Structure 1
Amino acid sequence: MKKSGAEEIVPISGVVINPAMPVNRIASVDVYRGLVMLLMMVEVLSLSDVSEAIPESSFWKIIAFHQSHVEWVWLSLHDTIQPSFTFLVGVVLPYSIASRKSKGASVTNILLHTLKRSLILILLGIFLRSIHSQRINFTFEDTLTQIGLGYPFLVLLALYSSRVQIIGLVTILVGYWLAFALYPLPGPDFNYAAAGVKAGWEYNLNGFAAHWNKNTNLAWAFDNWFMNLFPRTKEFQFNRGGYSTLSFIPTLGTMILGLLAGSILASSMADRKKMKVFIIAGTSLIAFGVLLHLIGVNPVVKRIWTPAWTIFSGGICFLFLSFFFGVIDIFNKKKWSFFLMVIGMNSIAAYLIADGSVKSVIESLLKHLGQNFDKGFGPYATLISGSLVLLIEWLILYWMYKRRIFIKI
């Protein structure tokens, strides 16, 4: 985002801390990002445990469903976290490039910084996935590594016109769709056990859509080769969730959609017209994604980021952005959003806190409050202990906010 005023930038292992609070930010983007990170942070509430403890409650079943990923097709609220985070990377890029150019950065400088940022994101993703492992867990399917793999291509596209970006988006999605479509379906002798999925798995798709079934597709075949190039305790055969490295390609498509949205935000177009464009784009993309799924051309599957998922989830992101842009920036209703703003302005810190420190916070709570302090709350035990953890995490971010400490890569 745009910044003004003097800044003292202190490098810490590729991460910089800016004591000066950025100004001229688009508040709606920070609030949207804050919601995304909050959805990730509230995993600590373990709402599925509450639902299991009260099996007769439809309310908690619905809530628990939306705090977990769907098995294969369609989505829950939780499934909107990664595309939203990814989409927003593209949204802020026009501002980031404009800021660097205003400070005299050349295209070469921008590209070198891009490669550095990309490498940090990939390594950070691997590090977070290795915290509880005996050795480095080389994996490339999580949010940070997926963004890191596609980010250099996004920046290159950002240096060209929107027309070139749209052509790039279409080429990526059609090419990725075609690659999966041409990959042969499993034969009668296929070893489903070695792929970690049952032949009659209830979520398997039929007909042409079967080209996008779990661990029997092109991306799975690629990882069977690629993942075994790295040191491992045992041979890689499949990812239990069906996730794959190659998903960074259509994930790049989501970032391009965000880039197009960011270019509109940064333009001189009237704000109300911007919101209208976002609404039209969002509803159109959702409708097109649903159509591709229903007619069997391409299923909406988040776990392998199908082109239909890129389109469908991209539409949802446009609608989220239109809502926050309208409420926060057009109608200036900001007071309610402070809680989210604190999180969104320090999204990397929030990501690290939610992904890396929850266990230690819980252990500290249990140590000081007693191992059974939450048991008196019955089925709501995890809700109580999780809420305390969430409060502590937010207060850490608030402390950083008050002291103008903002972590960026």
Structure 2
Amino acid sequence: MSVAGAQPAGVLQASRINSTVSAPPLVRNIAVDAYRGLVMLLMMGEVLRFAAIARAFPASTFWSILAWNQTHVEWAGMSLHDTIQPGFTFLAGVALPYSIRSRMRKGESFPHMLFHTILRSFILIALGIFLRSTAGPTTYFTFEDTLTQIGLGYTFAFLLAFAKPRWQWIATGAILFAYWLAWSLYPAPGANFNWAAAGVSPEWHEHLYSGFAAHWNKNSNLGQAFDVWFLNLFPRTSPFRFNEGGYLTLSFIPTLGTMLLGLIAGRWFTEAAPRIPLRKFLIAAASMIALGCLFHFTGICPIVKRIWTPSWTLFSGGVCFLFLAAFSWIIDVKGNRRIALPLVVVGMNSIAAYLMAHLWEEFIQNTFRIHLGPPVLNLFGTAFEPLFLGALTLLAYWLLLFWMYRRKIFLRI
């Protein structure tokens, strides 16, 4: 990880990724920064604790909707909160062509870029493990969080960035089909399957599938079998039996598909510059959302974020294309760049924002509790204390990021 005064990767230019260093000058893609900023704010916004407010006002539809969209769905479907990880992963792919072009302009060789990519992958994996281990007595080796999932697939995405466009599409399709086929061939849970031993309570059975879709049931699938073997190779305080949320290490494979969709979007940006390829974004969005829904409702492959099914890759990838099109239209086509500043401040320092949200929440909130106390925190009533405290915490995050932005301090891996 480094602290840089120069602007990080995420720039827009008009030539192909393998062009020479005589390419046109680099120009920042503010829409990409703003979209990344929204993704990070949604993650950091967990401190607002909408669920606590919804419990205090159980009859309120407004707070129920906000609370539902600030948590992950139990299994199939998508809430606003479920768009965070695919958005972050998709944008990692979007930034790849820009990063490679910038390094090529500086005269870096392919071996040097590959070494840096492998090192970046390793750091992302290690950072993910570290953040997962901060609350435990020992290192908690797990590989299903956002950073480790990106790290596991990042080098492969880098190599495919040098492939011809059709091979990028072929690779994406092949990855998703092969992953779907492997899960389809793995035996589905039978009638006598011990769901309690797999961490699936009777109350949760309403989310279980029957028929062919049962291959994608919680903690009874190919990814679960892999993790029972793989994760127990590492030192643990107790043997790994299941992940309570159903999350899996092997999800990095279809997650790579999400990153490759972002890579394709980044290539479209560079090839079309200074124009914005809105039509391509919208066609891609409609096609992928339609395909994901088709596979889901026919029972071929359900849309499940927690295990990152191929249908989820398509459906969430389409949503990412929609977000990218919306930000590009508002900021670049309509020229509303100034209103994007609050998001750009966060988006240009996404790693710093990620670390703040995972490491500083308790410290900042305890500081407010000590120095402000109930008279201030209960200003709007005790029911709204979690929201008010969360808003102060989120403001503290943003002000620190703004201070870093003004001084051109950007954390990069």
* Bin for the TM-score computed over the shorter chain: over 0.9
Matched residue, 1:20: 6
The answer to which of 193-202 and 177-186 deviates more is 193-202
Question: Is 1:246 aligned with 2:289?
Answer: no
1:348 pairs with 2:351: yes
Structure 2: unaligned runs, 5 residues or longer? 9-25
Q: What is the identity, as a one-letter code, of the residue corresponding to 1:387?
A: A
Q: 101, 115, 118: which is aligned to 1:115?
A: 118
Counterparts of 1:272-291 in structure 2 under 5 Å?
272=276, 274-291=277-294
Using the alignment, how far apart are the partners of 1:241 and 1:111 within structure 2?
Answer: 34
The equivalent residue for 2:74 is 71
**Distance across 2 between alignment mates of 1:288 and 1:143:** 25
Q: Distance in 2 between matches of 1:301 and 1:241?
A: 12
- Write the letter of the residue equivalent to 2:175: I
Partner of 2:22: none
1:228 Cα deviation (Å)? 0.3
1:370 alignment partner, SS class: helix
| C-alpha distance in 1 between matches for 2:259 and 2:6 | 28
Equivalent position of 2:62 in the other structure: 59
* 1:337 to partner: Cα distance: 1.3
CA deviations 1:118-160 (Å, max 9, x no partner) are 0000000001111111111111000000000000110111111
Report how far residue 269 of structure 1 moved: 5.7
- Which stretches of structure 1, 4 residues or longer, exceed 6 Å deviation after superposition? none
1:318 to 2:329 alignment: no
Deviations 1:278-313 (A, max 9, x none): 011101110110011011111000000000000000
What is the aligned partner in structure 2 of residue 133 from structure 1? 136
The CA distance in 2 between the partners of 1:293 and 1:72, in whole Å, is 12
Q: 1:11 — aligned with what?
A: none
Does the alignment pair 1:255 with 2:278?
no
What SS does structure 2 have at the residue aligned with 1:267? Answer: helix
Partner of 2:390: 386
Q: Which amino acid letter does the alignment assign opposite residue 370 of structure 1?
A: G
Q: CA deviation at 1:185?
A: 1.3
- Confirm or deny: 8 A CA contact 2:189 2:214 kept in the other structure: no
Deviation (angstroms), 1:395: 0.4
User: Is the contact between residue 69 and residue 79 of structure 1 (CA under 8 Å) also seen in structure 2?
Assistant: yes
Deviation sequence 1:78-132 (CA, Å, 0-9, x none): 0000000000000010011111111111111111111100000000000111111
Q: Which deviations, in whole Å up to 9, do the C-alpha atoms of 1:236-278 show, x marking residues without a partner?
A: 0000000000000000000000000000001136625x01110
Q: Which runs of 5+ in 1 are unaligned?
A: 1-14
2:182 matched residue in structure 1: 179
The residue correspondences of 1:25-104 to structure 2 (distance < 5 A) are: 25-104=28-107
Give the % identical residues. Answer: 55
| Secondary structure, counterpart of 2:271 in structure 1 | coil
CA distance in 2, matches of 1:337, 1:38: 13
- How many residue pairs end up in the alignment? 394
Letter in 1 for 2:355: L
Contact kept? 1:366, 1:373, Cα under 8 Å = no
The two structures have a TM-score, normalised by structure 1, of 0.94
Cα 1:132–1:372 shift into 2, 3 Å: farther
CA, structure 1 residues 233+371, in 2 after alignment: closer, same or farther (shift >3 Å)? farther
CA RMSD of aligned residues (A): 1.3
Once the two structures are superposed, what CA deviation does each residue of 1:179-208 show, in whole Å capped at 9, x if it has no partner? 000000123332222210146711111111
Match in the other structure for 2:172: 169
More displaced, 142-151 or 370-379? 370-379
Structure 2 SS opposite 1:201: helix
